């Protein structure tokens, strides 16, 4: 395919609904979004999007590129991320992290995997650190990692309120956040700390304390797994009211909706006027372990990045406006990550576009390159 592409007659959600429009892509950017675009250039590729909706490529802020798990021994480690899983589910931008295991999985390998996914046409970033405090780093310093390593945008996932955490003190958490902030300031990156929030009774108590007692902006605190319970999500909404943003872990296609599900969390956020402060991430390739009362792992399943699309679909079926739900996987995520050219279908933004029919992905364009064409993944993800 050529460098100039014209998507005709798509029903565009930017994520806000803008109606039936044409979208002109030049190189890796969106050049024009208007009705009945007329353009005369050599090698123009026209894509008929009639009957399809166009939405921004999904942004997944929490993915285990290298796999996760291991809480039940070596045989419970999960597999690496396959880029095809991202493409067929419309995920074009993603952030990789280590989890419980910062021993047999390394930041070096995480960086290499991020680079590999980028070569397949996706946009990738990573967090330095893992569950453990003090965090594992590339350079021995959180600040140096964020400033000097291109892919590193923050720290994560640091575990709090969880039996698998290193039981960090408030002072240890505060120092991590302070270092991330300054690293972000020096590098022009978000400098966020992605917190794995477990089922412990303290919830996000430390994060509220940081907001109340220090000068550090709340925007550097980014807790995930916040739909673990209604009580925890209510804490999350209070956090959002203070100006923060929280992340909900998507419902996997194989999971049943529990007493309080990620979709329930989205409904609560919408009804409270706070859906603009909520993101959804997949925890893709992470293990979803089941523990008994003594903390022994008795089983697990593996998360998929497809959970984003699945959860969006369920939320719309429950009655939420599609454009409000789409915010949680597009522009809200771009805001947290300070990605100024991601998350919208608008002039000057990266050409990350999904064309869908009834939530079935038909086309995926990432940075102007088609990665899926008429329901078929482009092999081997090269420019056509």
Residue 164 known to bind ligand: yes
Residue 69 known to bind ligand: yes
- Alpha helix positions (H), 97-200: 107-119, 142-148, 170-187
Residue 171 and residue 153: Cα distance in Å, rounded?
22
Residue 125 and residue 146: Cα distance in Å, rounded?
11
**Mean pLDDT for the stretch of residues 271-277:** 98
What is the pLDDT, as a whole number, of residue 381? 47
Does the structure show a pLDDT above 90 at 253? no
What is the pLDDT, as a whole number, of residue 43? 86
Distance of CA 91 to the CA centre of its chain: 9
CATH code for the part of the protein at 4-55+344-377: 2.30.40.10
Q: Which CATH class is domain 58-337?
A: alpha beta
- 4 versus 300: the higher-pLDDT residue is 4
Residue 131 known to bind ligand: yes
pLDDT, the chain, mean: 94
Stretch(es) of the chain classified as CATH 2.30.40.10: 4-55+344-377
pLDDT band at 383 (very low <50, low <70, confident <90, very high): very low
Q: For 96-136, how does the pLDDT look when each residue is reduced to its tens digit (9 = 90+)?
A: 999 888 898 999 999 999 999 999 999 999 999 999 999 99
CA–CA distances in Å: residue 305 to residues 91, 127, 318, 338: 7, 17, 21, 21
- Bridge pairing between strands 192-197 and 221-224: parallel
Residue 14 known to bind ligand: no
The DSSP secondary structure of 246-294, one letter per residue, reads EEEEPPPTTPPP-SS-HHHHHHHHHHTT-GGGEEEE--BT-EEEEE-TT
Residue 225 known to bind ligand: yes
**Mean pLDDT for the stretch of residues 242-265:** 91
* Residue of 60, 247, 283, 352 marked active site: 283
What is the pLDDT, as a whole number, of residue 69? 76
Q: For 312-366, how does the pLDDT look when each residue is reduced to its tens digit (9 = 90+)?
A: 999 999 999 999 999 999 999 999 999 999 999 999 999 999 999 999 999 999 9
Residue 247 and residue 223: Cα distance in Å, rounded?
6
**Tokens representing 72?**
């039940």
Angle, helices 262-271 vs 307-317, to 10°: value is 50
Does the structure show a pLDDT above 90 at 72? no
43 included as an active-site residue: no
**Tokens representing 18?**
């803008």
Could you tell me the sign of the dihedral formed by the alpha carbons of 316, 248, 220, 114, in that order? negative
| pTM for the structure as a whole | 0.94
Stretch(es) of the chain classified as CATH 3.20.20.140: 58-337
Omega before residue 157 within 30° of 0, cis? yes
Q: For 4-50, how does the pLDDT look when each residue is reduced to its tens digit (9 = 90+)?
A: 999 999 999 999 999 999 999 999 999 999 999 999 888 899 999 99
DSSP 8-state secondary structure symbol assigned to residue 81:
P
Residue 70 known to bind ligand: yes
Closest CA to 25 of 8, 1, 6: 6
Q: Give φ, ψ of 265 to 5 degrees.
A: -65, -45
Question: Is 202 buried (19+), middle (13-18) or exposed (0-12) by CB count in 10 A?
Answer: exposed
What is the pLDDT, as a whole number, of residue 380? 64
């Amino acid at each position: 395919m050529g460098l100039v592409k014209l998507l005709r007659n798509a029903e565009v959600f930017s994520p806000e609904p803008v109606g039936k429009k044409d979208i002109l892509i030049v190189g890796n950017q969106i050049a024009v979004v208007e009705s009945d675009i007329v353009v005369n250039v050599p090698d123009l590729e026209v894509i008929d999007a009639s009957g399809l909706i166009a939405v921004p490529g999904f942004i997944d802020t929490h993915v285990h590129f290298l796999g996760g798990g291991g809480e039940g021994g070596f045989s419970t480690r999960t597999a690496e991320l396959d880029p095809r899983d991202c493409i067929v589910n419309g995920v074009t931008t993603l952030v990789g992290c280590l989890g419980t295991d910062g021993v047999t999985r390394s930041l070096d390998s995480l960086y290499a995997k991020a680079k590999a996914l980028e070569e397949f046409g996706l946009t990738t970033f990573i967090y330095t650190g893992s569950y453990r405090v003090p965090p594992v780093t590339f350079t021995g310093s959180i600040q140096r990692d964020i400033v000097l390593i291109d892919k590193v945008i923050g720290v994560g996932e640091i575990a709090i309120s969880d039996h698998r955490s290193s039981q960090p003190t408030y002072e240890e958490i505060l120092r991590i956040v302070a270092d991330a902030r300054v690293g972000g300031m020096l590098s022009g990156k978000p400098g966020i700390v992605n917190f794995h929030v477990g089922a412990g009774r303290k919830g996000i108590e430390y994060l509220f304390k940081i907001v109340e007692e220090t000068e550090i902006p709340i925007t550097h605190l980014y807790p995930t797994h916040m739909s673990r319970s209604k009580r925890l999500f209510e804490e999350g909404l209070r956090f959002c009211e203070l100006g923060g943003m929280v992340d909900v872990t998507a419902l996997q296609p194989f999971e049943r909706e529990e007493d309080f599900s990620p979709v329930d969390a989205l409904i609560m956020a919408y009804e409270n006027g706070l859906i603009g402060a909520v993101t959804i991430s997949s925890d893709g390739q992470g293990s979803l372990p089941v523990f008994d009362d003594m903390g022994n792992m008795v089983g697990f399943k593996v998360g998929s990045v497809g959970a984003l699309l699945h959860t969006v679909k369920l939320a719309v079926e429950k009655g939420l406006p599609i454009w409000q739900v789409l915010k949680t996987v597009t522009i809200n995520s771009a805001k947290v990550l300070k990605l100024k050219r991601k998350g919208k279908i608008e002039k000057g933004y990266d050409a990350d576009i999904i064309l869908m029919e009834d939530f079935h992905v038909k086309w995926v364009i990432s940075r102007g390159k088609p990665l899926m064409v008429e329901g078929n993944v482009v092999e081997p993800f090269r420019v056509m």
